[in-house]
C-alpha cells in the first residue's frame, strides 16, 4: 500500500530513508538514487534561498525534459516557493508573457533555449538571473555544488502552491494553475488507487514537464516510490526502445504519439511483455489508431480524461472496456470517475444537474483541484464554485452505468495532439490582419492529431484572401501548434439573432458521421 504523505517534503524524506540506495530517476546519462535526489534537492533549497527566493516567490524553467526541472520543483516545495514550468512550444511573445505573469526571479534554461532567453532579456524585468542547464555552457551543476545542503523545510500549508502550470484561456492569455501539496498528493493517491504501481514498477515519463501528463505523472511515480525514466523528447522510436531496454511497466502518452508508435517499422516484432499499463489521453484518439494500439499493446490500454486544474486524471477507462466487444460503445467514453473524484453533469446556464443521459457541462469535485489561477481571482471564481465544484468547460453526458462521454467543448477549445488550443487566441491574431473582416476558428477532424484548427474568414471590402500568406502570418505571431492548418473563405459567418457566431453550424459539415470526443 502506498504511504499517505502530508506534503511533498515528507514524501521525499520517506523514500530517501526507506529506499536510500535504490535508483529513482534515470535520464540520458544521469542517474539518481533516492539519497542522491534528497541531497541535491537540499542543496538547491540552499541555493534558492541564497538567491533570495522565499515563500510565495516563483522561479521558471524553460527546457526540454531534464532531471533539474523535477529537482527544482521539489526544492520549491521545501522552501515554500513555486516552479512555473514554461511551455517551450510557445512563441517568444507568449514565453515573455508567462515569465512576467509569474514574476519569476530566476529563469533556468536548457541549451536549446539559452540564446532565445538572452535575446528576450530586456523584456523579462523580474528575472534577476538566468541559469543555463546542460550543454557545454552548463551553470546548474556548479551552482548546485557551491551550496551546502539546507535541511530546513518551510512548513507547508495543504493549499500552498509549489508548481504552477499554465493553461491557455479564452481571453487569449495563459493562466497559471496553482497546483498544491494537497492537490498533487490527492491526484497521486487517487490515481494509484485505480492504476497501481507495484514494487518494482518502472515508469516512463515521456510527456513534457510543462504538462500535467509530465509533471503530475512524475509525481504519481514519486509517490509510489517507483523507478522513473525520463525521456527528453518523445521521439516514437526512442519511446519503443525504452519500453524494451528499461523494461517499462507504466507510461502515459498522447494519441498523436501512439499513432506514430504504431507506424514504427517492426514495432509488432518487439517484446513489450513488461508493459502493464499504457495510459493515454489529453486529445481525441482516432478509432483506427486505438485499434492498432490495442493489437500492439494488448491488455494494457487505459484511457484517461483530465485537466490541469485538477492536477491531471479524473476519469479512466480500463483495459477490460477496451477489449470486450460487448461494450465496444464505451470506447468513445472517457470512462468512470477514479476514486476520490465526483463528477456531475450540470446545465451550464443554471448549474442544475441534468437527467442521466442528457447533455450538459462536466463538473468535477475532488481534493485534486488547484488553489486557483495565479493572480486571477475573477477567473478562479468563474471556474470553481463556492461549494468546490470545478466547471470543466467540457460538454458531455453520463450514462446509467456512470460512464462519462465528453462530446464537445463548451468553451470552444480545440485539443490537438494533447495541446489545448483556444480559438480566441488565434482569432485575436487573425483579426489584426488587414485583409480579414471577420473570423472564426474551429476544430476539424484529423487522423493524426485528433483535430486541428481551421480558420473560417470573411475578407474585408475590396480585399482578396491569400490563404498561404494568412497561415504564414499566424506562424509569425503564434506557437506553431496553435496555428490553423487550413483556411476557408466565406461570404459571411452564421450568427444567431444576438450576433453570436454559430460555431456549431460551422463545425457540423466536417464532423458529420464522426464522434467528436475528448479523452
Mean pLDDT of 301-305: 96
7-21, 411-425, 432-446 — most confident range: 7-21
DSSP 244: H
Q: What is the pLDDT of residue 496?
A: 62
Does 170 have pLDDT greater than 70?
Answer: no
Mean pLDDT of 290-298: 94
Residue 393: name the closest of 414, 374, 375, 367 by CA: 414
Q: What is the pLDDT of residue 90?
A: 87
Does 499 have pLDDT greater than 70?
Answer: no
Mean pLDDT of 96-125: 96
**Torsion sign, CA atoms 307, 309, 310, 312:** positive
DSSP 283: S
266 in Cβ contact with 236 (< 8 Å): no
E-strand ranges in 293-432 read 301-307, 312-317, 336-337, 341-346, 360-366, 390-398, 404-409, 414-416, 419-421
pTM: 0.85
d(CA 22, CA 29): 17
pLDDT digits (tens, 9 = 90+) for 444-461: 999 888 899 999 999 988
pLDDT above 90 covers what percent of the chain? 80
Residues in the chain: 519
Domain ranges in the chain? 8-398, 419-511
Task: Check residues 500 and 204 and name the one with the higher pLDDT.
Answer: 204
d(CA 285, CA 133): 35
What is the residue-averaged pLDDT of the chain?
A: 93
Mean pLDDT of 366-394: 97
Q: Which positions ≥6 away from 334 have C-beta within 8 Å?
A: 303, 304, 305, 315, 317, 396, 403, 404, 405, 406, 517, 518, 519
Confidence band, pLDDT 50/70/90 cuts, at residue 413? confident
- The residue assigned the cell 468535477 is 364
Does 519 have pLDDT greater than 60?
Answer: no
What superfamily does domain 8-398 belong to in CATH?
ANL, N-terminal domain (3.40.50.12780)
Q: What is the pLDDT of residue 172?
A: 58
Out of 160-169, 294-303, 354-363, 405-414, which region has the weakest mean confidence (pLDDT)? 405-414
In CATH, the architecture of 419-511 is 2-Layer Sandwich (3.30)
pLDDT digits (tens, 9 = 90+) for 418-427: 887 878 779 8
37 in Cβ contact with 227 (< 8 Å): no
144 in Cβ contact with 44 (< 8 Å): yes
Q: What is the pLDDT of residue 432?
A: 84
Q: What is the pLDDT of residue 412?
A: 76
pLDDT digits (tens, 9 = 90+) for 206-224: 999 999 999 999 999 999 9
Amino acid at each position: 500500500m502506498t504511504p499517505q504523505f502530508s506534503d511533498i517534503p515528507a514524501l521525499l524524506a520517506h523514500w530517501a530513508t526507506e529506499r536510500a540506495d535504490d535508483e529513482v530517476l534515470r535520464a540520458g546519462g544521469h542517474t539518481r538514487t533516492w539519497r542522491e535526489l534528497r541531497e541535491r534537492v537540499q542543496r538547491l533549497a540552499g541555493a534558492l534561498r541564497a538567491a533570495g527566493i522565499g515563500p510565495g516567490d516563483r522561479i521558471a524553467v524553460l527546457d526540454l525534459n531534464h532531471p533539474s526541472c523535477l529537482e527544482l520543483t521539489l526544492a520549491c516545495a521545501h522552501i515554500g516557493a513555486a516552479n512555473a514550468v514554461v511551455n517551450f512550444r510557445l512563441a517568444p511573445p507568449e514565453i515573455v508573457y508567462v515569465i512576467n505573469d509569474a514574476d519569476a526571479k530566476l529563469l533556468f534554461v536548457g541549451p536549446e533555449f539559452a540564446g532565445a532567453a538572452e535575446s528576450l532579456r530586456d523584456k523579462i524585468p523580474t528575472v534577476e538571473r538566468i541559469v543555463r542547464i546542460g550543454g557545454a555552457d552548463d551553470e546548474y551543476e556548479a551552482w548546485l555544488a557551491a551550496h551546502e545542503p539546507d535541511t530546513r523545510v518551510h512548513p507547508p500549508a495543504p493549499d500552498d502552491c509549489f508548481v504552477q502550470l499554465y493553461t491557455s484561456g479564452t481571453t487569449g492569455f495563459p493562466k497559471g494553475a496553482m497546483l498544491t501539496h494537497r492537490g498533487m498528493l490527492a491526484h497521486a493517491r487517487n490515481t494509484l488507487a485505480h492504476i497501481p504501481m507495484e514494487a518494482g514498477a518502472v515508469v516512463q515519463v515521456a510527456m513534457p514537464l510543462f504538462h500535467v501528463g509530465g509533471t503530475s505523472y512524475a509525481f504519481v511515480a514519486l509517490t509510489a516510490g517507483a523507478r522513473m525514466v525520463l525521456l527528453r523528447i518523445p521521439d516514437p522510436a526512442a519511446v519503443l526502445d525504452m519500453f524494451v531496454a528499461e523494461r517499462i511497466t507504466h507510461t502515459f502518452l498522447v494519441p498523436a504519439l501512439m499513432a506514430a508508435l504504431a507506424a514504427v517499422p517492426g514495432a509488432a516484432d518487439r517484446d513489450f511483455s513488461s508493459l502493464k499499463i499504457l495510459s493515454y489521453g489529453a486529445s481525441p484518439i482516432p478509432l483506427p489508431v486505438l485499434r492498432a494500439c490495442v493489437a500492439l499493446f494488448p491488455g494494457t490500454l487505459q484511457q484517461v480524461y483530465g485537466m490541469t486544474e485538477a492536477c491531471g486524471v479524473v476519469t479512466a477507462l480500463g483495459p477490460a472496456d477496451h477489449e470486450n466487444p460487448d461494450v465496444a460503445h464505451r470506447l468513445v467514453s472517457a470512462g468512470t470517475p477514479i476514486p476520490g473524484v465526483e463528477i456531475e453533469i450540470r446545465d451550464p446556464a443554471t448549474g442544475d444537474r441534468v437527467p442521466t443521459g442528457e447533455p450538459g457541462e462536466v463538473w468535477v469535485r475532488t481534493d485534486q483541484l488547484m488553489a486557483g489561477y495565479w493572480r486571477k481571482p475573477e477567473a478562479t471564481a468563474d471556474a470553481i464554485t463556492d461549494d468546490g465544484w470545478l466547471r470543466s468547460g467540457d460538454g458531455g453526458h453520463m450514462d446509467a452505468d456512470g460512464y462519462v462521454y465528453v462530446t464537445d467543448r463548451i468553451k470552444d477549445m480545440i485539443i490537438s495532439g494533447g495541446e489545448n488550443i483556444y480559438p480566441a487566441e488565434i482569432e485575436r491574431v487573425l483579426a489584426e490582419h488587414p485583409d480579414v473582416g471577420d473570423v472564426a476558428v474551429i476544430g476539424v477532424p484529423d487522423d493524426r492529431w485528433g483535430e486541428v484548427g481551421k480558420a473560417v474568414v470573411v475578407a474585408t471590402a475590396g480585399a482578396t484572401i491569400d490563404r498561404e500568406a494568412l497561415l504564414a502570418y499566424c506562424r509569425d505571431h503564434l506557437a506553431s501548434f496553435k496555428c490553423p492548418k487550413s483556411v476557408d473563405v466565406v461570404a459571411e459567418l452564421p450568427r444567431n439573432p444576438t450576433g453570436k457566431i454559430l460555431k456549431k453550424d460551422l463545425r457540423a459539415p466536417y464532423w458529420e458521421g464522426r464522434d467528436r470526443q475528448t479523452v
